[in-house]
Every structure is written in C-alpha cells, then in structure tokens.
Amino acid sequence: MRLLLVIFSLLMASPSTEVDLDMDEYLYGHVRDSYEWHITTINGKPVSIPLPVIVISKAGGGAHIFSSHHLEEGEYKGFSIATSGKYANKIVEKGSDGAQIRPWDFSITKNVLGLMINSAILVLIILLTARWYRKHDAAEEAPAGGTGIMEMMVTMVEDDIIKDCVGEDYKRYSPYLLTAFFFIFINNLMGIVPFFPGGANITGNIAVTLVLALFTFFTVNILGNKHYWKDILWPDVPTWLKVPIPLMPVIEIIGMFTKPFSLMVRLFANILAGHFMILGVIAVIFLTAKMGAAVNGGLTVVAVVLGVFMDCLELLVAFIQAYVFTMLSAVFIGLSRPKAETD
Amino acid sequence: MSLITPDFGLLVWMTLIFGIVFFVLAKWGFPMITDSVQKRADRINESIAKAREAEERLRNLSSEQEALIEKARKEQAAILKEAAASRDAIIEQAKVQARDEAAKITEQAMTRIAAEKESALRDVRTEVAMLSVAVAEKVLRKDLDSDPGRDELLGRLVDEISSSEELNS
C-alpha cells in the first residue's frame, strides 16, 4: 500500500506539475464558503457544481436569481465576485460612486447546500429510526442494526448529557439538545469526508456556530425561571457589590453573553483547526514536489500516515465537539432553572 | 478576514434550515424514540420489580412451610414427651399401688401366721400337757406299784410341771 503511494507520488512529481502552490489560497479556498462546489481540477480545468445565486441589489437593481457559472467570466448583471478588499470572494455590485457594495446575498452557497444535504440525511435517519418505533411495540422488542445504533446514541445523549445536566424537567429540552447534538455531529462528520457531498466546512463556519449558539442563548434566557433572573440581577453577594455600582449584576449579564459566545467559538475553532491541520499535512506532498523524487516520496509516506492519523483524530473531535456543545448547552439550561434556595 | 465575520445570507439559511430540522425532529423524531425507550425501560423495571416480588413471595412460602414443619415437629416432641411422662406416671402409680398391695398382703399373712403359730403352740401345749399327763399316769401307775422312792419322784414331777406352767404363762 505504501509502496503504491510512493510510486504514485513519484508520478505526481513529474516536471509538468511544477507550479508554485499558493498556500493561502489552498488553505482558505478549502475552508471558506463559495458560490460553486469545486470538486476537482482536470487538466487545469476546474470541475465544479454551479450553485444558484440569489441577490437583492442595494443599488436599486432588484432581485436576481442566476447560476453561479455566469460569474466565472467576471461581471454578470452588474454583480461580480470581489477579488480583493473588504469583500474578497463575495458577490459585490458597483454603487453610484463606483465603490463596491455588498448586496443582500441569499445565495445557495456551498455551505448552504451542504447544510441542506446533511440536514436531509439527518432527518431521514432520525425519521426512519422513529418509524421503527411507530411500527413496533418498543416495550416488547428492542431494535437491531441501524435503529439499534441510533437508539444507543439517542439514549446515550439523553441519559448521560440531558438528564444529568438539565435536571428535573429535562423532557422539555431533550428534543432541542438531541437535535443540536446530531446536527453538529453529522455536519462534523460530513466535513471530514473529502469529496461531494461532504467536504463543506460547515461547523467550521462562524455563521453556523453563531446560529447554534443563539438557539442555546434564547432557550436559556426565554425559558429561564425567576430564580435565574434573580441570580443575575440581584445575586447573593454582599450588598456593596451590588449598590451603588452594580458590579456583580454587570458581571452576570456579561456572563449571559460569554456563555453562548464560548460555545460559538469553541465549535468553530476546533473544526476549522482540524480542517487546517489535515490540509496542511496533505500540502506537504505538493510543497515538496520540486525537491526531487526521494524527498517527495519519503515525505508523502509521512504525510499519508499523518493524514490517516489526523482523520482519525478528527473523527474523535467530531464526536467530542458535538458532545461538548450539547453538554454545555444542557448545563447552561440547567443553570437557568435553579430551584429556590432552601434556607 | 471573512473567516470570522458571519455572512448574513448563511446566517439566514442556517437559521431556516436548523429551525426546520429542529421542528421536524422535535415533532416526529426524537420524542417518539425517547418515549419508546422510556416505555421499555419502565416496563423492564416493572418486570424486575414483579419478579422480585414473586421471588419474595416464593421465599416466604418456603419459610412458611419450614415454620409449619418446625411447628409440627415441636408438637410431635411435646406429645411424645407428654406420653412418656404419663407412661412414667402410670408405672409409678402402679408400682406404688403394687407396693401397697404387697405390704397389705404381707401384713395379712403375718397376722395369719402369728395366729396360726399361736393356735399351733396352743395345740402343742395341750398335746404336751396331755402327753405329760399320760406319761405321768403311766409312770405313777408303775412306780406307785413298785418303786420305793415314789413319793420323792412324784414331788419332783409336780415341781417341774408347775415351773413350766409358770414359764408359759
């Protein structure tokens, strides 16, 4: 197997591929959102799936829906993809003064399509699992196979995370937390798969983790009981910490926002870092292509071994991050429902 | 840098997609699964509780049985003991009765023996007296006929008889 890889890498090192690798473009191009789904490049020609662009002009050009392949050549209906500046790699239009303006951009980008595909897979899996319970008397028999695995995972999340962290009325929160867990988990997993329909860096995108964190934030603060609000606005500390300068309430209110913020950044940074690491390891193969067959071959073996290791690590991280996000959400929810102090 | 600035379009799509996924799964997905699993867990717990109860009852049954046997054994022992006691008492009583009877019989025999002896003695005495008289008569008759010292002998005989008479009275 390794020998094959070495031979393969030797073939790759032929003079015709001697082009400088743009490391920044390589790394960011793989992790950022885009208007088309790049699959591969054959003979210098990119093979990609064009995706629908949905934009509403801010300069009065109206709403437009068109395929993203029109943007490959440059401007289309006044819209183009910025190559540099504040809006690099985003669709921009020209304002009346010639400056770049970002229109309302609701395009089905790579991440949006990835989200749709992954969500469809998730919904399918869960509904198929639920269908088994609808057709069978679960009190009489236990599921086997895929349903059994799903039951095991659902039970694990419910028993280990939700029941323990939320406390008494966990049933009310269990659907949200389970959805969050499986949503993050499947998107993490699909992010590791290197080809279509995987490979979109979804949970490593800050917009996605921001929405997830906001869901937790609103769940915590809308459903929090009056003791929770009392602990924030009038905590049990010496009075001079609350009046005249409301030191503790201010800290508590900042805490309200730092909790979901930490959720957002943790998931985003972990997944993004994982993608960067794998990309970096694989980049070694291409960076050493000019150094001759021996060096390139040796380092390719190292890179592949490391890549396998990193992928295994990422599988672990995919699970751990879903677990951690769900657990911390459950903990925050649990904290938002304290019981009256019994004294 | 665009990596850390959330894109508005993606935010909207993510909210929409996650919202739909959450709605669908919360309505038709997870509650079905968790409730079913809960139902099964309840049922298993219930079954275990029932089994434990049955086992408890079975154990009680056997202990009840044991208690019954124990009681019967005790009763048996008590009855045996009582029987032995009454047997002993009867034997004892019989012994006492027999002893009393024997004593009574012995006493009666003694009395009779004494009476017999008395009458026998009386007979013997009468016989001896008669014999003495006869002997004396014969001796007297012969001696009185021939012996010169008859007066002396007569006197001695009279003395002897009178002295023996004194002894017997």
Q: What is the pLDDT of residues A116-159, one digit of tens each?
A: 999 999 999 999 999 999 888 877 888 888 889 999 999 999 99
pLDDT digits (tens, 9 = 90+) for B2-50: 778 888 888 999 999 999 999 999 999 899 889 888 888 899 999 999 9
Q: Is residue B55 part of a domain?
A: yes
Q: Could you read off the pLDDT of A231-286 as tens digits, one per residue?
A: 888 888 888 888 888 888 899 999 999 999 999 999 999 999 999 999 999 888 88
Q: How confident is the model at residue A13 (pLDDT cuts 50, 70, 90)?
A: very low
> Looking at the complex, does the CB of residue B23 fall below 8 Å from at least one CB of chain A?
no
Of A246, A223, A219, A222, which Cα lies nearest the Cα of A235? A246
Give which of B23, B30, B44 to mutate to test A binding, by max A Cβ within 10 Å. Answer: B30
Please give the pLDDT value at position B129.
86
Tell me if residue A45 falls in helix, strand or coil. Answer: strand
Q: Is the pLDDT of residue A2 over 80?
A: no
Residues across chain A: 343
Does residue B107 or residue A337 have the better pLDDT?
Answer: B107
Maximum pairwise Cα distance, chain B = 197
B26 touches chain A (CB under 8 A): yes
B138 or B110, which is more confident: B110
Beta bridge partners of A40: A47
pLDDT computed for residue A19 by the predictor: 57
Q: What is the pLDDT of residue B1?
A: 46
Question: Which amino acid does the sequence have at A235?
Answer: P
Q: Pick from B2, B22, B17: which is nearest to A205 by CA?
A: B2
Q: Chain B: give the shortest CA distance to residue A37, in Å.
A: 15
Whether the per-residue pLDDT at B96 is higher than 60: the answer is yes
pLDDT at A98 over 50: yes
- pLDDT exceeds cutoff 70 at B148: no
Number of structural domains (chain B) is 1
Q: What is the extent of the structural domain holding B63? A: 7-168
Report in angstroms the alpha-carbon separations of A207 from A188, A336, B75.
Answer: 15, 25, 88
Chain A residues lying within 8 Å of B26, measured CB to CB? 175-176, 179
Minimal Cα–Cα distance from A136 to chain B, Å? 10
A211/B18 Cβ within 8 A: yes
Q: Is the distance from CB of A110 to CB of A200 less than 8 angstroms?
A: yes
State whether residue A325 sits within 8 Å of chain B by CB: no
Interface-testing mutation among B10, B22, B35, B46, with chain A (most A C-beta atoms within 10 A): B10
How high is the mean pLDDT of chain B? 88
CB contact under 8 A, A215 and B18: yes
Residue A14 has pLDDT above 60, yes or no: no
Instruction: Give the minimum alpha-carbon distance from B22 to chain A in angstroms, rounded to a whole number.
Output: 6
Q: What is the dihedral of CA A198, A125, A260, B5, to 10 degrees?
A: 30
Touching check for A129 and chain B: CB below 8 Å? yes
Is A183 part of the contact surface with chain B (CB cutoff 8 Å)? yes
Q: Note whether B162 contacts A: Cβ–Cβ < 8 A.
A: no
Of B29, B17, B25, which Cα lies nearest the Cα of A211? B17
Calpha distance A174→B26 (Å, rounded): 9
Cα A201 from Cα A30, distance rounded (Å): 8
Whether the CB of B17 is below 8 Å from some CB of chain A: the reply is yes
- 3-state secondary structure at position A32: coil
On whether residue B51 sits in a domain, the answer given is: yes
Question: Among the listed ranges A36-45, A109-118, A180-189, B107-116, which one has the minimum average pLDDT value?
Answer: A36-45
Q: B-chain residues within 8 Å CB-CB of A134?
A: 32
Residue B1 placed within a domain: no
3-state helix/strand/coil string of A174-236: HHHHHHHHHHHHHHHHHHHCCCCCCCCCCCCCHHHHHHHHHHHHHHHHHHCCHHHHHHHHCCC
pLDDT at B82 over 90: yes
Out of A116, A127, A134, closest to residue B17 by CB: A116
Q: Strand A52-56 and strand A45-50: pairing?
A: unpaired
Give the other-Cβ count within 10 Å of A75's Cβ. 12
Comparing alpha-carbon positions, the chain B residue that sits nearest to A54 is B9
Q: Specify if B34 maps to a domain.
A: yes
Residue of B nearest to A137 (CA): B36
* Binary contact (A211, B14; C-beta < 8 A): yes
What rounded mean pLDDT belongs to chain A?
86
The answer to whether residue B152 is domain-embedded is: yes
As a three-state string, the secondary structure of A97-130 is CCCEECCEECCCCHHHHHHHHHHHHHHHHHHHHH
